[in-house]
Amino acid sequence: MHTDPGPYYDWARLLTLLGRPLAATAPPGAPLIAIHPGWEANPQPLAPCDRHPGAPARPANFLPLRTHPDPEAPLLGPGCLHDTTGRATAGQRYATAGRTGEWTAIWYDGRRAWLHDPGHAPTTAPVRGPAVRPRRDRTPVWGRAYPDPGAYPAGTAAPAAVPLAHLDTGQRYACGGPAPTVHRTDAATTVTATEPHLVIQLGHRIGYVRAADVELLPA
């Protein structure tokens, strides 16, 4: 997935200008949170990688994610400019997975990820919204919501889709609602799915799950 406009773009300010500021919409302890680290109060450094030399700490739009609730615990990702495996960006919504001291855990790419979220200076906001819970272990998550193979007419090959990830029971993910499941294979053929899919916030990117594979939890 793309990372532009990058870690130094103030999403919270843009949303405020659009009349949709980041704010709590649920009481403390709600099962969903929105990432809301602030701006000036959230300086984050970038590690060097590839051809980018890294950068010193400056106001940023993301929170780094760690393997354990400890500031010295390893980051989930490399922590560099184009890291898409170990940070949560302002405005993204996640299902909570625990709380220890000043740390909140979220479900992220099939695992618990920890972010610093002290009560005296919270970096998240509790929000209302739907979520999904896998009905079984190894529930596949897809990068595109292709129609099921049986929906393709004779002579039209269904695309070979490989799951992005697999989710286990007990995990929960914020849900963005139904996904459009129409595939235009060529100028003359449009295939519509017979199995509905749902959009979820998987990690840095969104993913798609078959509605039959998950339980939809109310807002």
Quick one: pLDDT at residue 139?
Answer: 98
**Does one domain contain both 49 and 119?**
yes
Q: Give yes or no for residue 2 having a pLDDT over 70.
A: no
**Does one domain contain both 103 and 77?**
yes
* pLDDT, average across residues 97-121: 97
Give the position of tokens 């010193």. Answer: 56
d(CA 180, CA 197): 8
* pLDDT, average across residues 188-192: 83
Structure token pair of residue 96: 């909570």
Q: What is the mean pLDDT of the chain?
A: 93
**Does one domain contain both 51 and 151?**
no
Q: What is the tally of structural domains in the chain?
A: 2
**Does one domain contain both 113 and 148?**
no
Quick one: pLDDT at residue 156?
Answer: 85
Residue 3 included in any domain: no
Residue 89 included in any domain: yes
Quick one: pLDDT at residue 1?
Answer: 59
Quick one: pLDDT at residue 52?
Answer: 80
Residue type for position 171: Q
Kindly report, residue by residue over 139-178, the tens digit of the pLDDT: 999 998 888 888 888 888 888 889 999 999 999 999 999 9
* pLDDT, average across residues 10-34: 96
Q: Give yes or no for residue 53 having a pLDDT over 80.
A: yes
**Nearest 5°: phi and psi at 34?**
-105, 140
Q: Give yes or no for residue 3 having a pLDDT over 80.
A: no
d(CA 3, CA 17): 22
